[in-house]
Structure 1
């Protein structure tokens, strides 16, 4: 593969620019699928091994980890978890029943 073809593929995967061979994208998606699955499973294994205290320390709960595990096999769970953390930060905090 030449440097320009490789550069175009990297640019396409990062969403910067499309090149003229969409079949090549499908090829690389299929070829790299096992590595994406392995990385996602490794991340989930690390998160599942954390204690509830450690999860709370990074702003997550056990349910968040279980929910992230329900995604596609090759989906990066950290993206879903980061989105949940952002939603939680934006949500208004109640007064906890105080008047």
Structure 2
């Protein structure tokens, strides 16, 4: 189970309020659950996918329009971040998901 404390530790010890972390965890759980559907996935794998998705969702808060500025010696360097917060979850879940042919 992903908790606000485990997400905070994964993010490097963020000082974000527990309510904010709980909200992104709830959103990440909904997104990952939609990918999994009725398939049986080990809980440890599901939790990791939720944690990675929640971390991406939290990171999007400080990157309006998908651009995040990082400070360097010359000022700030804009960097485009991944727009799909499920990208790491999809990679983690891929070996466990059955391929569906239509």
Query: Same-fold call, TM > 0.5?
Result: no
Which structure would you say has the larger Rg?
A: 1
Q: Which has the higher contact order (CA 8 A, sep 6+)?
A: 2
**Which has the larger strand fraction?**
2
TM-score with structure 2 length normalisation?
Answer: 0.29
